[in-house]
Amino acid sequence: MKQTAATRRTAEQLREKLGYILLFEIADPRLDLVTLTGCEVSVDRAYARVFVSCEPGRYEEVLEALASARGRIRTLLSRALDWRIVPELDFRIDRSTDEAERIARALENVPETLVVEKDEEGYPLVPEEPVDDWPDDGDDAVDEEGGR
């Protein structure tokens, strides 16, 4: 949905009212520890997309509980909001927290190649090899005793 300053204000107002309703008015134990992370409201206020966050193992359970309470929530919203139209609610799981946690875990496991010093082009710096002062006589053959 296209978001303007006005729709962001109405979305924030809707999020506050929904948070209060879910916290104090709806007594479904499946909705414990559910966080409203955001709302998007259409320009005509007829449709609202509500993003919720919960534990990863409870996604289906929470969506089912919100779907069954959708009518009651809209009724309570009509009393709480001074809007002419009460929006149709579309609840969705916000998976951005899961993605942030996955990235944080990945950053904890730093591969060994990242700690190697690199030059300005990104190539690893190779330590300089010691210079051999002895002239090479060209005889690389090894005799039977293992010596030269």
Provide the pLDDT for residue 16.
95
* CATH code for the domain of 89: 3.30.300.20
List alpha helices for 1-148, DSSP H.
5-20, 59-80, 96-108
* pTM summary value: 0.70
Structurally, the chain folds into a number of domains equal to 1
CA distances from 25 to 68, 93, 147 (A): 14, 21, 90
Is there a domain that residue 76 lies in? yes
Is there a domain that residue 140 lies in? no
Q: What is the mean pLDDT of residues 15-30?
A: 93
Q: Please, what is the angle between helix 59-80 and helix 5-20, to 10°?
A: 100
Is there a domain that residue 135 lies in? no
Structural domain that includes position 86: 5-95
* Torsion from C-alpha of 105, 106, 109, 115, nearest 10 degrees: -140
Is there a domain that residue 59 lies in? yes
Is there a domain that residue 115 lies in? no
Residues 6+ apart with CB under 8 A from 96: 37
